[in-house]
Chain A
Amino acid sequence: MRVIDRREVFLSAAALSLIGARAFAQSGAEVPVGVIYPLSGANAQIGVDARHALETAADIVNKSFDLDLPTAKNAGLAGLGGAKIKLIFADHQGDPQKGRAEAERLITQDKVVAIVGAFHSSVSATASVTCERYGIPYVTADSSSPSLHKRGLKFFFRTTAHDEMFSIAMFEFLDAQRKAGRKIDTLGLFFEDTIFGTDSSNVQRKLAAERGYKVVVDIKYKSNSPSLTAEVQQIKTANPDVLLPSSYTTDAILLMKTMDELGYKPKNIVAQAAGFSDKAFFDAVGDKAVGLISRASFSLDMAQKRPSILKVNEMFKARAGRDLNDNTSRQLMAVLVLADAIDRARSTDGEKIRDALATTEIPGNRTIMPWKRVKFGADGQNVDADPVLIQYVGGQFVTVYPAAVAVAEPLWPMNT
């Protein structure tokens, strides 16, 4: 092994401080924010849409708009002398190890001040730990595994509801249906085998037991399978009153196709979003999914209550060629929440941005979401991110729960 001498240590320290100084000099003009999404691989479409959403958000921050949203009014970040945020994209392909490596690269090479990600909960799990190590805030817009905020991380923030909150909303909805005299005794769980599906099913299993529902079929399946026939056969045999699937887009499409092929019409589906709120899902199998209910964080029909939605949707649509959905709305909002914190921190220092995030307080009507507000608990979870349930009625979604924001009565059962 070669021993490094004192001169080399001195030289490299000098070089490092030079890089640091340069990064600082640039902070007046541009604030680099890292973004990790699946830009290729099985969920590439999610990443491509996310990119449009995040760039729309950067536009809102960097230019001047007459919108009642954080940092929208003036161009750039007022707290940093009008500095603009610059998004630096990295591709994790749905792989937690790639996510970890990309987070590290963004922090050490691109000198990002914070990272936003990552859709996959499994990737958020690894990338957020890397951020913690470097003292850089990690904001997840859309990773919903309940375990993520329970790891005691100081730099982890989640603007969206997690699957426990989503699942509670789903079960409260089921309770309400029961009260209205509808027969719901048995449930079916069908979930993919990564952290998203597993965590989701754990919560649902617990809630089912607490609230007196019988789980008659409980299937953990291998994601991206060539065939789901055997799995669907088990669901069909058990024929639960409500099927609760947690799947990404590929499997969601295959599930609906296979049920149709096996002549099985599920009585009701209440889905843990992900694949079931993806436009690609409805393009492919929409005709078989009429009546499907999904938990959601967003619905375009809320525009009456959140006036910014229409204008923001227009901006997004100009880029992406499609409407905002559950994922893209949350991704867009996460960047605004982060920009608001950087603005208030008046600094690009990780620790200071972290402290600013911790004191965030944005009322719901200054978001494009159905949330009461954005305010993080000590664990980094936004406690007021109220979910909604939306139902696909053919061609579009309508909000059916909770009653306060619902625009229609649910169609129930989905198939008789």
Chain B
Amino acid sequence: MTSAQPFLQVLASGLAMGLIYALIAVGLSLIFGLMDVVNFAHGEFLMLAMYATFGLFFETALDPIVLAPLVVAIMFVLGISVYAGVVRYAMRAKTNPGMVQIFATFGLAILIQGLAQYFFTPDYRSIPNTWLGGKTLNLGGVFLPWPQIYGGAISLATFLGLYLLISRTDFGKALEATREDQGAVALVGIDRNRIFALGWGLGAALVGLAGAVLAIFYYIHPNVGGTFALVAYVTVALGGFGSIFGALVAGIIVGVVEALTTLILPPALKSVGIFTLYLGVLFIRPSGLLGRL
């Protein structure tokens, strides 16, 4: 074992986690960019996706990798329902609509958590004996768990898919146009409500994919969303609110900085590195790395 080995291990693990953070955060960023709404129930969406994976695994005994598309579809429907059932009404507030939206999604988060605890019980679940679970790739003393390699690959593929979606399809163009100018798109016959609903569906589907990945190697619990939500908010803020590729860059940075911080500071302070970096970026570029000024 060389002296560089622990450093490389921490770096590699940080990179893999960073890609997964990016995947968790991108849905949040997408929804914000589209309609300036911060979804405070984002972590709970992630938790629901993990439970969906767990439940489907239990029912069908299929591997979480096979189940991922199904989880994504379920979360897409959930995202649209949340928009149609909650957010749409919150946006109609005449005064302080921003606050109303914050409290609406925050309330939704608490409701989902409570329901999850009631129906799923607060037991810690995990999915046993998956194709990748517990398997590790050993690269000359640097260990990379296969579930996280898979997660990183899925994350990169997703960002490529998003790039193609936004640049090559009509829906993507409508999405971009709506974020540019909500009023103008109505004039060219784009139904703003429909785009918003699809945006929420897409955002939830993306975090659903992250949940299907996480469920392979992380414990599942009604409060698991909170653990990742904070990271997702910092990632979105660091990358630039609403910037999809900002989320990718920032996710990687957060993962790597968090891991490397432990080499210098006591591990209890590992978030300090991330927040110091964020405050630094705030100072130089208040709108985030790739945010529009």
A253 to B222, CA, bound (A): 15
| Cβ contact within 8 Å between A44 and B117 | yes
Distance in Å: Cβ of A362 to nearest Cβ of chain B: 32
Q: Which residues 239-295 of A sit at the B interface, judged by CB distance below 8 A?
A: 249-250, 253-254, 257, 260-263, 280-281, 283-285
Residues of the A chain whose Cβ atoms lie less than 8 Å from the Cβ of B10? 229-230, 233
Residue of B nearest to A221 (CB): B267
Q: Tell which of B143, B219, B223, B226 touches A254, judged by Cβ atoms closer than 8 Å.
A: B219
| Cβ contact within 8 Å between A280 and B217 | no
Q: Binary interface profile of B, 106-139, with partner A (CB < 8 Å = 1, else 0)? A: 0000000110010001111110000000101010
Distance in Å: Cβ of B265 to nearest Cβ of chain A: 10
A47 to B126, CA, bound (A): 20
Q: Tell which of B113, B125, B228 touches A226, judged by Cβ atoms closer than 8 Å.
A: B228
| Cβ contact within 8 Å between B270 and A225 | yes
| Cβ contact within 8 Å between A280 and B266 | no
B271 at the binding interface (Cβ < 8 Å): yes
| Cβ contact within 8 Å between B262 and A231 | yes
| Cβ contact within 8 Å between B122 and A48 | yes
Residue of B nearest to A44 (CB): B122
Residues of the B chain whose Cβ atoms lie less than 8 Å from the Cβ of A280? 123-124
| Cβ contact within 8 Å between B227 and A221 | no
A224 at the binding interface (Cβ < 8 Å): yes
Distance in Å: Cβ of B131 to nearest Cβ of chain A: 15
| Cβ contact within 8 Å between A234 and B262 | yes
Residue of B nearest to A45 (CB): B122
Distance in Å: Cβ of B240 to nearest Cβ of chain A: 22
B69 at the binding interface (Cβ < 8 Å): no
A45 to B124, CA, bound (A): 8
Residue of B nearest to A43 (CB): B122
Q: Which residues 183-232 of A sit at the B interface, judged by CB distance below 8 A?
A: 193, 219-222, 224-227, 229-231
A231 to B265, CA, bound (A): 11
A247 to B222, CA, bound (A): 19
Residues of the A chain whose Cβ atoms lie less than 8 Å from the Cβ of B113? 40
Residues of the B chain whose Cβ atoms lie less than 8 Å from the Cβ of A237? 1, 6
| Cβ contact within 8 Å between B231 and A262 | no
B145 at the binding interface (Cβ < 8 Å): yes
| Cβ contact within 8 Å between B136 and A262 | yes
Q: Binary interface profile of B, 220-260, with partner A (CB < 8 Å = 1, else 0)? A: 01110011100100000000000000000000000000110
Q: Binary interface profile of B, 141-169, with partner A (CB < 8 Å = 1, else 0)? A: 00101001000000000000000000000
Residues of the B chain whose Cβ atoms lie less than 8 Å from the Cβ of A225? 227, 270
Q: Binary interface profile of B, 1-36, with partner A (CB < 8 Å = 1, else 0)? A: 100001001100110010001000000000000000
A158 to B64, CA, bound (A): 46
A41 to B113, CA, bound (A): 9
Residue of B nearest to A193 (CB): B268
A227 to B14, CA, bound (A): 9
Residues of the B chain whose Cβ atoms lie less than 8 Å from the Cβ of A219? 266-267
Residues of the B chain whose Cβ atoms lie less than 8 Å from the Cβ of A48? 121-122
Using known A-B contacts A220-B268, A261-B134, determine if residue A40 contacts B114 with beta carbons closer than 8 Å.
yes
In this complex, how many residues of chain A approach chain B with their Cβ under 8 Å: the count is 36
B282 at the binding interface (Cβ < 8 Å): no
| Cβ contact within 8 Å between B6 and A234 | yes
Distance in Å: Cβ of B121 to nearest Cβ of chain A: 7
A345 to B177, CA, bound (A): 76
Residues of the A chain whose Cβ atoms lie less than 8 Å from the Cβ of B62? none
- Kindly state the interface size class of chain B when it binds its partner: 35 or more
| Cβ contact within 8 Å between A45 and B123 | yes
Distance in Å: Cβ of B205 to nearest Cβ of chain A: 21
Q: Tell which of B124, B218, B269 touches A249, judged by Cβ atoms closer than 8 Å.
A: B124
A14 at the binding interface (Cβ < 8 Å): no
A124 to B77, CA, bound (A): 44
A193 to B13, CA, bound (A): 22
| Cβ contact within 8 Å between B222 and A44 | yes
Residues of the A chain whose Cβ atoms lie less than 8 Å from the Cβ of B186? none
B184 at the binding interface (Cβ < 8 Å): no
Q: Binary interface profile of B, 194-205, with partner A (CB < 8 Å = 1, else 0)? A: 000000000000
Residues of the A chain whose Cβ atoms lie less than 8 Å from the Cβ of B259? 227, 229-230
Residues of the A chain whose Cβ atoms lie less than 8 Å from the Cβ of B14? 229-230
Using known A-B contacts A44-B222, A229-B17, determine if residue A220 contacts B123 with beta carbons closer than 8 Å.
no
Residue of B nearest to A253 (CB): B219
Residues of the B chain whose Cβ atoms lie less than 8 Å from the Cβ of A222? 267-271
Residues of the A chain whose Cβ atoms lie less than 8 Å from the Cβ of B217? 257, 261
Residues of the B chain whose Cβ atoms lie less than 8 Å from the Cβ of A283? 123-124
A42 at the binding interface (Cβ < 8 Å): yes
Distance in Å: Cβ of B146 to nearest Cβ of chain A: 9
B263 at the binding interface (Cβ < 8 Å): yes
Using known A-B contacts A45-B124, A224-B227, determine if residue A250 contacts B136 with beta carbons closer than 8 Å.
no
Distance in Å: Cβ of A394 to nearest Cβ of chain B: 15
Using known A-B contacts A226-B227, A230-B14, A280-B124, determine if residue A263 contacts B222 with beta carbons closer than 8 Å.
no
Residue of A nearest to B262 (CB): A230
Residues of the B chain whose Cβ atoms lie less than 8 Å from the Cβ of A40? 113-114, 117, 122
Can you name 5 extra interface pairs (CB under 8 A) apart from A48-B121, A231-B267, A261-B148? A220-B268, A230-B262, A261-B143, A262-B9, A283-B123
Q: Closest 6 A-B residue pairs measured CB to CB?
A: A44-B122, A230-B262, A229-B13, A261-B145, A280-B124, A193-B268
| A–B complex contacts, Cβ < 8 Å, 15 sampled | A40-B113, A40-B117, A48-B122, A222-B269, A222-B270, A227-B259, A229-B9, A229-B14, A229-B17, A229-B259, A230-B262, A230-B263, A253-B124, A254-B219, A261-B143
